[in-house]
Amino acid sequence: MNIQHQLQHIQQTIHTLCEQVHRPSNSVKLLAVSKTKPVSDILTAYQAGHIAFGENYVQEGVEKIQHFEAQGIKLEWHFIGPLQSNKSRLVATHFDWMQTLDRVKIAQRLNEQRPANKAPLNVLIQINISDEESKSGIAPEAMLELAKQIENLPHLRLRGLMAIPAPTTDITEQEKSFKKMAALFEQLKQTFPHQPIDTLSMGMSEDMPSAIKCGSTMVRIGTAIFGERDYSAK
């Protein structure tokens, strides 16, 4: 896998998809999902000009963050995995974004644990949009209540919503979930006009075209940049 080449290719794809639906190409940000990948791959992406990386596992993410801090390389780190409350301090201490917030209790912990010398932690509320079986994400009806609680936490900054719809190759099904997310995102912005709500994180390798068509502002791409993941070594 030529990481530099793949990054360019995906940026070009995002650009084309945006043009097709008459959106500015800088309205969709690319998050490079580097879970299970070595720091050497992240360094390659950084040298190709990429700054924003997503990690799913707390310990692995923190090790990578510390590695690059020690080198004096400033990257932007997004936590995108499920978070157990006993690991919240590591996320609050090291990450710049937390995309999978779905409980008041975790929000309160992150707020208390965010170091005072750091900018507020950017958070996205994760919505359980299509997969009722999944334990991650809150029901759409619970969004505004959680957002109200977050609004009162000074060390968190509510930036928007995130979703991982149930995987399907059916475009109509994909768009159904993403349109629901776009409507919720509008509702959130209108209800909290004074919050910097600007991020709708949806779309992965398989469903990026539908996500961009429906208003995604951040796509999360792993395999198509770094190649298949090998979990056997873990």
Ligand X SMILES: *Cc1c(COP(=O)(O)O)cnc(C)c1O
Task: List residues near ligand X by CB under 6 A.
Answer: 33, 35, 56, 80, 164, 204-205, 220-224
27 with 49: CB under 8 angstroms?
A: no
- The smaller minimum CB distance to ligand X, of residues 109 and 220, is found at 220
Count the neighbouring beta carbons within 10 Å of the beta carbon of residue 15: 14
Instruction: Indicate the SS3 state at residue 232.
Output: coil
- Please report how close the Cβ of residue 166 comes to ligand X at its closest, in angstroms: 13
CB of 222 to ligand X, least distance (A): 3
DSSP-derived pairing of the beta strands 76-79 and 52-55: parallel
CA 90 from chain center: how many Å? 17
CB of 53 to ligand X, least distance (A): 11
Choice between 80 and 107, CB closer to ligand X = 80
Shortest Å distance, C-beta 214 to ligand X = 17
Separation between Cα atoms, residue 73 and residue 14, nearest integer Å: 26
- Whole-number minimum distance, CB 204 to ligand X, in Å? 5
The b-or-e profile of 80-118 (16+ CB within 10 A means b, else e) is bbbbeeebbbbbbebbbbbbbbbebebbbbbbeebeeee
Q: Which is nearer to ligand X, 90 or 144 (CB)?
A: 90
Least separation in angstroms between residue 92's CB and ligand X is 19
Say if residue 135 is exposed, middle or buried (CB neighbours under 10 Å; 0-12, 13-18, 19+).
exposed
Q: Which residues contact 205 (CB under 8 A, 6 or more apart)?
A: 221, 222, 223, 224
- SS3 sequence of 7-36: HHHHHHHHHHHHHHCCCCHHHCEEEEECCC
Q: Which residue is nearest to ligand X (CB)?
A: 222
Which CB, 76 or 151, lies closer to ligand X? 76
Tell me whether residue 80 or residue 150 sits nearer to ligand X (CB atom): 80
Closer of 106 and 224 to ligand X (Cβ): 224
